[in-house]
A = this chain, B = another copy of it.
Amino acid sequence: MADKIELLRTLMRAKGWDAVVITGSDPHSSEYPAERWKQVEWLSGFTGEAGDLVVTLDHAGLWTDTRYFIQAEQQLAGTGIVLHKMRVPEQVPIPAWLQEQFGSEGLIAVDGLSMGTDFVRELPGTVISVPDLLGRFWEDRPEVPQTPIFTVDPGESRSGKFAWLRAFLHGHNCDGILLTALDEIAWTLNVRASDIEYNPLVISYLLVTSQGVSWYVLKQEVEDPDTESTFSILAADGVQLLPYADIDYLPSEFPGRLFVDSATLNYQLFDSLRSAGVELVEGTSPVGLRKAVKNPVEIAGMREAHLRDGLAMERFLYWLEKSVEGGREISEWDAAVRLGQLRADQPGYRGDSFQTISAYGPGAALPHYITPHEYAPVLREGGLYLCDSGGQYDCGTTDITRTVPLGRISALEREDYTLVLKGHIDLAMAVFPEGTPGCRLDVLAREPLWKSRRNFGHGTGHGVGWFLGVHEGPQDIRQNLNPTPLQAGMINSDEPGIYREGRYGVRHENLLLCVEAGESSFGRWLAFEPLTLCHFETGALELPLLDRAEIAWLNDYHERVYRSLSPRLPDEIAGWLRDKTRPIG
């Protein structure tokens, strides 16, 4: 790593730059970038999902948050790169740090292509955007990925979506909207691909104007019938297909007022548009919120996806229990592989929705544990095994966590298991008035833990896409005061946990569909309906910690799990599931 940084410094000296800032993002502000844009990893060796680098002539630093401190310390050892801790009280974010170093006089170079406009705007001093800055050193740099593109039918035509966007443009007195977030583009065009791991997206830009639609997408080099068919379908719907790189011509060609979302628009493109004199109207893209509210076809698809996923999960849990009881040597990695195979057996499976967390004992105490391929810990009788995983199906996306007692567990493990489930159920049972943001409900999942002075350091719930990203906004259920109200049709996870460092972790996660729950003289009401279908371990419960309503919820849920899944399971597993889902209390 050190030699790469020295190469960079040679360039910095030649150009007179005081600092170079490098993020782990791509030109579309994606949560998961393709290999080509894993610049922080290439330069530093750090593989965490969140990390930004700053290199000056005498310092190299990696900025990351609490989740990745241990990993960063291990991976940066010997590189000379210093860890800068974020989400801690004494944090000094990159803009403040640069300000400390160079005041407002610094000359800061960035690769504006792989950085959001809002991020760059916060940097002090003079910012110079150098597209593909690292490209001059990175010899075997991966290309922009190109995978087959196919269409989906989520119950709403792309023409209808174009019309809706045009109404938005009309209302905002704009001539066009440039969509830059990949999930927003996939949603608008009803297309999917596999350009990004775990995310069925196509790397591209989309321009919708009052007259037409232009899609800036790589011309597929590999002949592929799906892609060809997709292109003809889109062309028939009036979509003009342009090479991905042609986005560079947009600034000089676009006449009029262009709506852009500076949260996902990369700085390079923003800067070109601005310099070319395009009149930019900045705001939040309307696609995010619209996409978060699932339509009836998407909801039906999500139900079907969760049925398939539940079948894979129950087969997995059955296999796991029998294997461990039978003394078979299974590692965390083996378990993850087995689960992946069981999902792949389901119809319409399109890959996992994120990297499976398969963790026995201490590993599970890290909410973002990465199961090692080699020398993975072996599951044994006694203690807790945690598995957080999800699938992409052609009809929807899943995300589920189950914590499994392997034989006997301690009194504290039982208590933690029960209290986390109590929190999970209390949130799932919530009824709330229209207009309520998720942050106001977050405490429902926490108060049962808080009462015994326990807590967890991550959010309780994130939005989930329809056969799209497993994390999506704009709503969530967490401690941050996000004002976006929950709406019927939104899907969020419900995943409280307790983590005991060096010992074990407990997390229980279902996806919840937000549904209408009637009207009274006090207004209109919303509630949640679990989509996930998989049993919890009643044998691990400390029953006196649950109240009647919570036990009733669990019994109802288990009855639904059994009725939904058992007809599609082999008799032996169905019988086992009957036992697992018997009413308690």
Contacts and interface: CB of A to CB of B under 8 A. Distances in A.
A481 B450 contact: no
A442 B450 CA distance: 15
A375 interface: no
A348 interface: no
B453 A525 contact: yes
A250 interface: no
Nearest to A443: B440
A211 interface: no
A481 B518 CA distance: 26
A522 B453 contact: yes
Contact of A454 (B430, B440, B520): B520
Most chain B CB atoms below 10 A, which of A433, A451, A522: A522
Contact of A431 (B437, B441, B453, B521): B453
Contacts of A432: 443, 447, 450
Interface string A490-513: 000000000010000000000000
A444 interface: yes
Interface size class of chain A, counting residues whose CB lies under 8 Å from the partner chain: 20 to 34
A439 interface: yes
B453 A430 contact: no
A135 interface: no
A253 B517 CA distance: 64
Interface of A: 429-433, 437, 439-444, 447, 450-451, 453-455, 479, 481, 483, 500, 517-523, 525, 547-548
Contacts of A481: 437, 439, 481, 483
A352 B384 CA distance: 59
A504 to B, nearest CB: 14
Contacts of A442: 440
12 contacts: A431-B451, A431-B453, A432-B447, A433-B450, A437-B481, A440-B440, A440-B479, A450-B525, A453-B517, A453-B520, A455-B523, A481-B483
Contacts of A451: 429, 431
Nearest to A519: B453
Contacts of A429: 451
Contacts of A479: 440
A552 to B, nearest CB: 13
Contacts of A521: 500
A454 B523 CA distance: 8
